[in-house]
Amino acid sequence: MRIQVRRRRRPWPAAGAVAVMLSVGPALATTASVRPAATAASGGEWTTYGGSLTRQSDQSASPVLTPLRSRWRSPTVDGQVFGEPLIYHGLVLVGTEADTVYALSASSGRVVWRRHLGRPVSPGSLPCGNISPAVGITSTMVIDPTTSTVYASGSTSSGSSIHHLLWALSVGSGALLWTRDLDRPGWSAGSQLQRTALALADGKVIVGFGGNFGDCGDYHGFVMASPESKLGSVAVYEVPTSREGAIWAPSGVSVGASGNVFAATGNGASNTTYDEGDSVIELTPSMQRVATFAPTNWAHDNEVDADLGSSAPVILPGNRIVILGKEEVAYVLDENHLGGIGGELASAPGCSSRGGDAWQAPLLLVACPDASMMAYRVGARSLQVAWRSSNAPGSPTIAGGIAWSVDGSGNLVGLSPATGRQLVSVHTVDTEHFAAPSAGEGLLVVGGSSQVQAFDGPKGLLG
């Protein structure tokens, strides 16, 4: 999964494939009995990418944010922030490429606590990639509001060894509760990148893997489920391709009401036998496959690196899923019956979408980093382009009745979700690739290369 990106003042570090290798049988599971996944906390918090595990990126609790004002800029943090900031109980939490988690005061931006978790990886020790000057925590973290625990995943180095770790920390104090090694027997750790946002399902932390920018090394896509308690083994699903099949969408995997996990893959290695490349895969929280979807031209997409999985499946009301990737075609799927190859309910032309999307009925807003943002009108079995806008091509978040994204010139832009008309534009911190604002507790928060910035409206903080 190769992607060319651009960024103001210097090349945008990226996301690339996502890698790994191990094997868990591809036998289909027909039933699953699980408790629903933890979702965003009440009161307008933002505890996972998109505010919920359906990845809808709509903060319904937000007050009006116009006229928009800058509330604070944080002190300089020790590394780039690639993941979406989280907002919970008066704190803004971010992870950095230096393998540090920061908790900032939501009211002032001061550092409440910081926890350095390890030594990040030097890019020079990797076979390819374009994250620099260090590779640490790249994905969006996740908070379980029932335990006030934040989970982070990142790369660390020890001598010449590279490791992929999962950490559990107390949100209130930053105390390290436990650490778990996610490395699999026999893989080349330097060829893997954990880019996709973390999720929670049935008491498990869901972690996806792919590879570095440049598609180097012998990597496979993996989805792993680690118990939140750390008790018990890590369940693993390997995409059954001979190579590639990355799980890398910055917006993560999605979790339905049943607790099942929906992951989208990048290109696989086969153009003959179906290998679950360029697919949506439904898994139980114990990582048993339930169903798959792939476009009829999946083999061509594999061959030309047209990743379906460059954005997450967005789960909508009425048991519908919409997915749009680099193939430039959007698909409506049935959450309860993905349909196999060519089993979509509807499709429509799109853009080379990468990042995350946002939903405000009946429109789904999608990021088109090369040129624009666009919106689809989604029906039970229909999909129509509603509008296109060239003003804000970044990943959108809807808050206070406005769709917000960061453009390539470092501006936080607000569009009308109904029409795409630009309503607001203010300068913000220098951001990393696929950055999307977070919205919670009355704030709109942008994570950047060296600082975090928070905005609010006339009503200030909620509560």
Residue 426 placed within a domain = no
> Do residues 408 and 7 lie in contact, with contact meaning Cβ atoms separated by under 8 Å?
yes
Partnered with residue 379 across adjacent β-strands are none
Residue type, 367: A
Give me the amino acid identity at 182.
L
Q: State how many domains the chain has.
A: 1
Burial class (CB in 10 A: 0-12, 13-18, 19+), 433: buried
As to burial, measured by CB atoms within 10 angstroms (0-12 exposed, 13-18 middle, 19+ buried), residue 183 is middle
The pLDDT of residue 127 is 79
Q: Which residues pair with 456 in a beta bridge?
A: 69
14 in any annotated domain? no
Has residue 35 been placed in a domain? no
Q: Is residue 365 part of a domain?
A: no
Domain extent, residue 230, equals 49-65+81-344
Q: Specify the pLDDT at position 43.
A: 57
Whether 162 maps to a domain, the answer reads: yes
* Phi and psi angles of residue 396, each rounded to the nearest 5 degrees, phi first: -95, 155
251 in any annotated domain: yes
Contact 439, 399 (CB under 8 A): yes
* Other beta carbons within 10 Å of 2: 15
> CA dist 457 to 69, 93, 158, 262, 330, Å?
6, 21, 45, 35, 34
Which CATH number is 228's domain given? Answer: 2.140.10.10
95 found inside a domain: yes
Mapped onto helix, strand or coil, the DSSP state of residue 300 is: helix
Ordered strands of the 320-324 beta sheet: 314-316, 320-324, 329-334, 346-349
398: in domain? no
Q: How far is CA 439 from the centre of its chain?
A: 15
Closest CA to 401 of 412, 389, 415, 391: 415
Residue pLDDT tens, the chain, 463 long: 443 333 333 333 333 333 332 333 333 343 333 444 444 444 599 999 999 999 999 999 999 999 999 999 999 999 999 999 999 999 999 999 999 999 999 999 999 999 999 999 998 888 787 888 999 999 999 999 999 999 999 999 998 899 999 999 999 999 999 999 999 998 888 888 999 999 999 999 999 999 888 778 888 899 999 999 999 999 999 999 989 999 999 999 999 999 999 999 999 999 999 999 999 999 999 999 999 999 999 999 999 989 999 999 999 999 999 999 999 999 999 999 999 999 999 999 999 999 999 999 999 999 988 778 999 999 999 999 999 988 777 899 999 999 999 988 899 999 999 999 999 999 999 888 788 999 999 999 999 999 999 999 999 998 6
Output the CA torsion 229→192→451→428 (10° steps). Answer: -120
Residue 385: predicted pLDDT = 96
| 3-state SS track over 378-405 | ECCCCEEEEEEECCCCCCCEEECCEEEE
Cis omega before residue 11 (within 30°)?
Answer: no
Q: Could you tell me if 54 and 254 are in contact, meaning their C-beta atoms sit under 8 angstroms apart? A: yes
Q: Which residue spans within 183-259 are E strands per DSSP?
A: 192-193, 199-201, 204-211, 222-227, 235-238, 254-255
User: pTM value?
Assistant: 0.91
